[in-house]
């Protein structure tokens, strides 16, 4: 008997985010290969999620190299196996790239017959990926499907292998009914609710969207007001020199609130005034006044501009100069 690992409803399995479907509408069984030498659902999920951006995987079952089977999704979940055919197809993947083990072929025959019995399908309803319309150029499933179907017919009189872990799909309520039950608190909260919904065959994201709609949580948010366009740094630097932005910490605060970097503006101010770099912080008015008397700050009006640009009170410095003289 084939070893079965049932991962349906396991929280580690991605999604499902695709809509649920009616099991009675399944008309085909698709065989795939992974196009890899090895692998399992955990490896394939990285590709589905990270590279393809899917929210639901590609297969309902994966047959590993040793013939063991991973059951990934329930029958009512629409997976992403064959574009434009997924709503009516049950997908089985055999790990390999055109070369498969005897254990895998034995397992595929068992799983295909079990699915045929479950969905009331015939051997001719078992197709390779490239036998679906629009997919003829695809190399998947890497095997001659006529050979596979003949093999299935050859033992058609045998009793089909039973599903080792029967898990019949329940009669699902409408999504609207479930959303009302969620609002009433019947499904719990958070991750526990997601798990219970998924195990019962519902898509948590679809249900949550309906809940949001019913509670008015999905109303569009107002568009934020556009940010004002910033002036060039050179323009702001000149305004600083002209004294329009104040001095010291107040100037830094006003510049930052308006969306400018005070350090960048100060560097441009220094460049325009030929100061090279900002004056050392922490000088007293008396020290500055004595520097003015020595001529370190030049003559008016440039002197006042340079003092203001360096964050000092030019008027206070001038008053001290007058006192000293």
**Tens of pLDDT, residues 125-154:** 999 999 999 999 899 999 999 999 999 998
What is the per-residue pLDDT across 271-301, written as a single tens digit (0 to 9) for each? 777 654 444 456 888 888 888 888 888 888 8
Domain ranges (residues) in the chain: 4-154, 175-215, 233-324
Nearest to 31 by CA among 76, 87, 96: 96
What is the secondary structure of 170-214 as a DSSP string? P-PPPHHHHHHHHHTTTT-SHHHHHHHHHHTT--HHHHHHHHHHH
CATH architecture of structural domain 4-154 = 3-Layer(aba) Sandwich (3.40)
What is the per-residue pLDDT across 207-260, written as a single tens digit (0 to 9) for each? 888 888 888 754 556 666 666 678 888 888 888 888 888 888 888 889 888 888
pTM check: above 0.75: no
């Amino acid at each position: 008997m084939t070893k079965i690992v049932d991962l349906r409803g396991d929280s580690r399995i991605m999604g499902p985010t695709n809509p649920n479907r009616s099991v009675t509408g399944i008309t085909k069984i698709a065989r795939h290969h992974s196009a890899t030498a090895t692998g399992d659902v955990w490896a394939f999920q990285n590709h589905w999620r990270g590279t393809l951006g899917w929210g639901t995987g590609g297969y309902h079952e994966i047959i590993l190299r040793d013939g063991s089977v991973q059951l990934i999704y329930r029958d009512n979940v629409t997976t992403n196996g064959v574009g434009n055919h997924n709503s009516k197809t049950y997908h089985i993947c055999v790990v390999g790239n055109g070369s498969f083990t005897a254990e895998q072929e034995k397992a595929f025959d068992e799983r295909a017959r079990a699915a045929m019995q479950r969905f009331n399908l015939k051997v001719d309803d078992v197709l390779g990926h490239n036998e679906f319309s629009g997919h003829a150029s695809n190399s998947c499933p890497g095997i001659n499907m006529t050979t596979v179907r003949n093999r299935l017919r050859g033992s058609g009189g045998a009793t089909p292998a039973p599903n080792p872990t029967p898990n019949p799909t329940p009669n699902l309520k409408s999504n609207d009914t479930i959303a009302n039950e969620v609002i009433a608190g019947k499904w719990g909260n958070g991750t526990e609710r997601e798990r219970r919904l998924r195990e019962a065959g519902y898509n948590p994201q679809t249900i949550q969207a309906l809940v949001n709609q019913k509670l008015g949580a999905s109303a569009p948010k107002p568009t934020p007001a556009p940010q004002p366009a910033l002036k060039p740094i050179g323009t702001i630097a000149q305004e600083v020199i002209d004294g329009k932005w104040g001095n010291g910490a107040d100037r830094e605060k006003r510049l930052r609130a308006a969306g400018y970097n005070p350090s960048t503006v100060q560097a441009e101010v220094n460049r325009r005034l030929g100061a090279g770099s900002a004056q050392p912080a922490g000088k007293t008015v008396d020290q500055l006044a004595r520097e003015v008397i020595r001529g370190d700050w030049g003559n008016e009006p440039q002197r006042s501009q340079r003092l203001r640009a360096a964050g000092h009170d030019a008027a206070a410095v001038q008053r001290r100069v007058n006192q000293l003289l």
